[in-house]
Structure 1
Amino acid sequence: MSLRDDAVLVLKAYVAETEAQEELRRTYLDHLAAHRDAMWKACGAGHLTASALLVDPKRDRVLLTLHRKLGMWLQMGGHCEPGDATLAAAALREATEESGIPGLALLPGGPVRLDRHPIPAPCHRHLDVQYAALAPSGAVEAISGESLDLRWYAFDEVAEVADASVVRLVESTRERLERVAP
């Protein structure tokens, strides 16, 4: 199965909890149907990306990266690569690379939410499939070349440093954590 085929299956199975999320789900599926290269950065009409919000083992903080190019506090994530077998694998790879933390585990249940956002050229538009991941006990982060800084924030502190899309991701992740046994 190709990464594109996996993305279609993931999006068909995604249970949108709001009408806005359902509209995005349909938009992503339409984009995949219209663009054979929708998984890759080269797709000028926009492309799917994969990200993951990292949660500490005590489940009360998240790790954000100060993105080098955008100058914003964001979750870990980015472009899919040819070696990625699934969207989940792409999100996990990106989170591991950008955080320096091995042994991350995605929360069960698939993506936490979807987010479409503009990006400076040459990308123009990301159709981000957002997961959440738990860091292992004793995790120590390490700044990658894509980050200016990494920092743990309490859930309630995120709104002070990040934009609304990250705040929505934190809220959805907290809701998912309540449904997942520790």
Structure 2
Amino acid sequence: MSLHADAYQLLAGWAAPDDRQAAMRASYLTHLQSHPDAMERSCLPQHLTASAIVITDDGTRVLLTLHRRLRRWLQTGGHCEDGDASVRAAALREATEESGIASLRVDPVPLRLDRHTLSCGGRADAEHLDVQMLATAPVDAVPAISAESLDLAWFDVDALPETDDSVRALVIAARRRLRAADLGPTPPRA
């Protein structure tokens, strides 16, 4: 299955948590239907991206990256790549690259969708149609900063740094998901 087909199937089967998210889901599906290249960064002004909020498997801490270009504390994530087999795989790749944690687990069901404007491909009006996933890490996981970040740090879920509403909403959704479904502890690395 292509990445495009996976994204369509994933979103078509996703039960959005509220009316606003349902409307966003419908717009993502329309975009996918009308753009065979919707998963590629060259699809402008809009293309789908994948991100993951990294939270300890006990739900107490969240890992955020101080984005080098945006200079804001954000979840891990970015553009999908040709080698990504699925949106989940793209989110896992991005989270692993940006966190340095090899033992992450990504829940197969999206947490939220977020549409945000970002200059891309030489355009100031480009929009990322972000599919946001939940990644869990062992409580003792030690992150390693990547070249994409100015900083990388664990924060108590109740004491986030200055960030935007989308990150706060994502953390709330992650905590709800962890409480609702026991994803189990992350297995130790071999």
TM-score tier (shorter): over 0.9
More displaced 10-residue stretch of structure 1: 78-87 or 136-145: 136-145
SS in 1 for 2:64: strand
The answer to whether residue 132 in structure 2 is matched with residue 130 in structure 1 is: yes
CA distance in 2 between counterparts of 1:60 and 1:17 reads 23
Which residue number in structure 1 is paired with residue 144 of structure 2? 142
Q: Does 1:42 align with 2:42?
A: yes
- In structure 2, how many angstroms separate the alpha carbons of the residues matched to 1:121 and 1:4? 20
Matches for 1:58-97 after TM superposition, within 5 Å: 58-97=58-97
What CA distance in whole angstroms lies between the structure 2 residues aligned with 1:107 and 1:85? 15
Q: Which residue of 1 aligns with 2:188?
A: none
**Superposition deviation, residue 155 in structure 1:** 1.2
Deviations 1:26-61 (A, max 9, x none): 000000111111101001121000000001133201
TM-score (norm 1): 0.95
| Matched AA of 1:103 | S
Give the equivalent residue in structure 2 for 1:102. Answer: 102
- Residue number in structure 1 paired with 2:116: 117
- Cα offset, 1:137, TM superposition: 4.5
Q: So what's the TM-score if we normalise by structure 2?
A: 0.91
Q: Could you tell me which runs of 5 or more consecutive residues in structure 1 were left unpaired when the two chains were aligned.
A: none
Distance 1:137 1:156, change over 3 A: closer
* Structure 2: segments with no counterpart, 5+ residues: 185-190
Two-structure CA RMSD over aligned residues (Å)? 1.2
- Percent of pairs with identical residues: 52
Query: In structure 2, what residue type is equivalent to 1:170?
Result: V
Aligned with 1:156: secondary structure? Answer: coil
Q: What is the rounded CA distance, in whole Å, between the counterparts of 1:147 and 1:138 in structure 2?
A: 21
In structure 2, distance between residues paired with 1:104 and 1:164? 25
Where 2:158 maps in the other structure, the secondary structure is helix
SS at match of 1:8: helix
Residue in 1 aligned with 2:187? Answer: none
The structure with more helix, counted as a fraction of residues: 1
- Further displaced range: 16-25 or 133-142: 133-142
- In 1: Cα distance, 2:88 partner to 2:23 partner: 21
Supply the AA of the counterpart residue of 2:114.
Answer: D
Count, aligned residues: 180
- In the alignment, the residues of structure 2 paired with residue 161 and residue 142 of structure 1 have an alpha-carbon distance, to the nearest angstrom, of 21
